[in-house]
A and B are shown apart, each in its own frame.
Chain A
Amino acid sequence: MRVSVDAALCTGHGRCYALAPQLFAPDDFGHCALVVGDGVVPNGLEEQARVGRDNCPEHAITISD
Chain B
Amino acid sequence: MTNAESVPELGWTNVDPEMSARPQQFYPMMRDMGVVEAEEMMLITRHEDVVWALRHPDLFSSGSDAIDIGNIRPLIPLQIDPPDHVKFRRLLDPLFAPREMEKLEADVRALVVELIDEFAEAGECEFNGAVAIPLPCTVFLRLLGLPLADLDLFLRFKDEIIRPVAATPAEGRAMARKTGAEIYAYFETVIAERRRKPQDDMLSGFLSAEIDGEVLTTEDIMDIAYLFLLAGLDTVTASLGCAVAYLAAHPERQQALRDEPSLIPAAIEELLRWETPVPGVVRVATQDVEVAGSMIPAGATVTCLLASANTDGAEFADPESVDFARAANRHLAFGAGVHRCLGSHLARLEMRVALEELHARVPQYEVEAGKTPIYTMGIRGVEYLPLVWSVS
Contact = CB atoms under 8 A, between A and B. Distances in A.
Interface of A: 9, 11-15, 17-18, 26-31, 51, 54-59
B93 interface: yes
A30 B345 contact: yes
Contact of B99 (A15, A26, A57): A26
B336 A11 contact: yes
A12 B337 CA distance: 9
A57 B52 CA distance: 11
- Chain B interface: which size bin? 20 to 34
B37 to A, nearest CB: 26
Contacts of A29: 89-90, 93-94, 97
Given A26-B99, A59-B330, 15 more contacts: A11-B337, A11-B338, A12-B97, A13-B334, A14-B98, A15-B269, A26-B97, A28-B97, A28-B99, A29-B89, A30-B98, A54-B330, A55-B329, A55-B330, A58-B51
Interface string B328-354: 111110101110100011000000000
B92 to A, nearest CB: 9
14 contacts: A11-B336, A11-B338, A11-B340, A12-B93, A13-B340, A15-B269, A15-B329, A15-B330, A29-B89, A29-B90, A29-B93, A30-B345, A57-B336, A58-B337
B344 A14 contact: yes
Given A11-B338, A13-B344, A51 B94 contact: no
Given A11-B336, A30-B345, A57 B97 contact: no
Nearest to A26: B98
Task: Name the 4 nearest CB pairs between A and B, nearest first.
Answer: A30-B97, A54-B328, A11-B340, A29-B93
Given A14-B344, A26-B99, A58 B336 contact: yes
B389 interface: no
A58 B48 CA distance: 10
Contacts of B94: 28-30
A31 to B, nearest CB: 8
B363 interface: no
Interface string B36-52: 00000000000000010
Contacts of A54: 327-330
Contacts, number: 59
B330 A56 contact: yes
Counting chain B CB atoms within 10 Å of each CB, the highest count among A27, A55, A57 belongs to: A57
A55 B337 contact: no
A18 B344 contact: no
B279 to A, nearest CB: 16
Interface in B306-343: 327-332, 334, 336-338, 340
B265 interface: yes
B363 to A, nearest CB: 29
A58 B339 CA distance: 12
A51 B337 CA distance: 20
Contacts of A18: 265
Nearest to A31: B93
B338 A55 contact: no
Contacts of B90: 29
Contacts of B337: 11, 58
Nearest to A17: B98
B96 interface: yes
A52 B386 CA distance: 38
Nearest to B101: A30
A11 B334 CA distance: 11
Contacts of B269: 15
A57 to B, nearest CB: 5
Nearest to B337: A11
Nearest to A28: B94
